[in-house]
Chains A and B, each alone.
Chain A
Amino acid sequence: MRTPGRHDGDEAELIERSRKGDSEAFGVLVERYQRRVVGVALAVVHNQDDAIELAQETFVRAYENLSKFESRSSFSTWLYRIAANLAIDFWRREGRHVVLHGEDAETEIGKLPTTTGDSFKEVSRSELSARLKQALEELTPEHRAVILLREVEGMSYDEISDVLQCPRGTVMSRLHYARTHLRNILKDLGGN
């Protein structure tokens, strides 16, 4: 799945220098991946301040564990995985969010109202935006992460599978659930 990128050569050198304690070299890697690491954390915790804090923690953990990094997977995937794990742990530890559906919530899909058509037209943008944010909060971090990694970060199913360490089929089912859930909530809003 992994294809050599144009950064691979100098990235290997930067990683090696970072392993020897060269924080300047590690700074280059931070600059290179900071935006997407924050994006991964944000996809899970859905709060910018928490996401930035978690992203910083991700890089610190990565630096401390560089000796354990093996080049079998890409450095970026390894980073995103650390970020996702930290963010999911953080979200569970904080416990300040309401989870309406559990890990196997796919079965809940059948209970949701089903309507068809372009149902988002009637809702004002601000109302839709507020409701969408709220609907995202109602998802589990795993479901929210999958849909935001796909829709906002533009990751492929395989990349999401690598980062969240779950099978591709699970990515597909979580994504299906998240989409159906959000769509139906927004439809309800449109109906009201």
Chain B
Amino acid sequence: MMLGAFEDSELEPNEMQEVAYHLARCESCTGVLADYSTLGRDLRSITEAPSLAGFSNAVIARIDRLPQPVLTRIERFFRRQLESVGTGFAWGSAVVAAAVVTIVLMTPYAEQLANRGAMPTIVASSNHNVAPAPAPAQMADAATSEPTMADNDSHADISRLESENHSVAVWSEPRRDTTVIWLPDQP
């Protein structure tokens, strides 16, 4: 038994040494050891490795045909649900994010549009705190022209000038939601 284990290097170091010492003096055991070695080679030479082409696919096909235990089916059902909820949540988040970005970007324009349509607050004022009124001739020209800057302090855009009376000036400042009525000082 020791000879086989010696051939396989499965003995303790001291045992290996003992067997080696014995082999050096024993022709019979040396012959047995040589036969073991030859036997091992012969066994390896007659053993043909079978072809494993398609082996793993065949195994997986068999596994896929296995009836699933109830617990596994329940677990998979819930996992699928969780996955689909997760996907839905992701899409929902993306839509909400896109909506928020759109609102943030569009708000100033929307505000502007809303202001154009809204009725301005009417403020009656004298020449105090307002820009000097344009001369009546100038006002007539301005009524048909594009809006111009009128109030340097507020930087308001005058969208229109409107007045039938040449001694009174009326103009709108959309940015300030203000309509200004200018009346000349009484003599």
A31 and B47 contact, CB distance less than 8 A = no
Residue in B1, B60, B66 whose CB lies within 8 Å of A30? B60
- Complex contact B1–A176 (CB within 8 A): yes
The A-B contact count (CB < 8 A) is 110
Residue B20 is within 8 A (CB to CB) of chain A in the complex = no
B41-95 residues with Cβ-Cβ distance < 8 A to A are 42-50, 52, 55-56, 58-60, 62-64, 66, 68, 72, 75-76, 79
Q: Is B34 touching A60 in the complex (CB atoms < 8 A)?
A: no
Cβ < 8 Å to A, chain B residues 1-38: 1, 4-5, 8, 10, 27-28, 31-32, 34-36, 38
Check A116–B27 contact: CB distance below 8 A.
yes
B40 at interface by CB-CB < 8 Å: yes
Given A34-B56, A116-B27, A182-B39 contact (CB < 8 Å): yes
Taking the closest CB of chain B, its distance from the CB of A114, in whole angstroms, is 9
Secondary structure at the A interface, as helix, strand, loop or mixed, is helix
Which chain A residues lie closer than 8 Å to B63 at the CB level? 23, 26, 59-60, 63
- Give 5 A-B pairs besides A63-B66, A117-B35, A152-B47 with Cβ atoms closer than 8 angstroms: A20-B79, A21-B76, A56-B55, A151-B39, A152-B43
- Chain B contacts to A: CB under 8 angstroms: 1, 4-5, 8, 10, 27-28, 31-32, 34-36, 38-40, 42-50, 52, 55-56, 58-60, 62-64, 66, 68, 72, 75-76, 79
Top 3 closest pairs, chain A to chain B, by CB: A116-B31, A30-B56, A176-B1
